[in-house]
């Protein structure tokens, strides 16, 4: 196991990502933030919390997107869906999709399909905590990156979240 981000580094990285999103979407008037279920929501909850410290809470439109039935890479497994909770229109909005780890790009492709069923956004950006470069199966690149890492296929990147795992850190498992 190799430690990539400690709890302190993780907190600093999340704060930086929140500031970068605000730099490009100053008042959030036409911007919505959407966390991808299940693990992207832990990151998006913290990002939204950081952003709320900087802007009026009423300006933030935040939702959670379940992509379970849009996946094309899960076969013969029992799929237990999460909940999509988007109580606003994404039509004509700037959407910032948020996920913890970008690996093959299949999750993001599925999220884009799910988004299109909800409306036609003006623009979609991607914010990820960890970008596993050189592993992509689709031409998908993040707009906001916490940390880029090089890893091999046999390695697994694991993000631990306090709410789920009792600790916060990012590791590579061999």
CA separation for the pair 109, 69 (Å, rounded): 12
List CB contacts of 12: < 8 A, sequence separation 6 or more.
Answer: none
Assessment of whether the complete model's pTM goes beyond 0.85: yes
In whole angstroms, give the CA distance from residue 111 to residue 80. 16
Beta-carbon count within 10 A of 64 CB: 20
pLDDT digits 0-9 by tens, 102-131 = 999 999 999 999 999 999 999 999 999 999
Fold (CATH) for 2-71+83-173 = Rossmann fold (3.40.50)
> Can you tell me the distance from the alpha carbon of 108 to that of 112, in angstroms, rounded to the nearest whole number?
6
CA 95 to chain CA mean position, Å: 12
For 14-68, the pLDDT digits (tens) are 999 999 999 999 889 899 999 999 899 999 999 999 999 988 777 799 999 999 8
């Amino acid at each position: 196991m190799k430690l990539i981000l400690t709890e302190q580094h993780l907190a600093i990285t999340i704060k930086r990502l929140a500031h970068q999103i605000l730099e490009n979407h100053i008042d959030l008037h036409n911007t919505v933030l959407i966390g991808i279920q299940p693990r992207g929501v832990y990151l998006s909850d913290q990002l939204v919390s950081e952003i709320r410290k900087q802007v009026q809470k009423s300006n933030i439109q935040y939702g959670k997107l379940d992509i379970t039935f849009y996946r094309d890479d899960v076969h013969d497994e029992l799929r237990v869906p999460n909940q999509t909770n988007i109580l606003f229109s994404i039509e004509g909005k700037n959407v910032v999709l948020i996920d913890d780890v970008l690996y093959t790009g299949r999750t993001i492709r599925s999220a884009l399909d799910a988004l299109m069923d909800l409306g036609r956004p003006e623009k979609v950006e991607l914010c990820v905590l960890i970008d596993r470069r050189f592993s992509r199966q689709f031409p998908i690149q993040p707009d906001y990156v916490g940390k880029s890492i090089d890893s091999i296929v046999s390695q697994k990147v694991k993000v631990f979240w306090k709410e789920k795992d009792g600790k916060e850190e990012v590791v590579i498992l061999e």
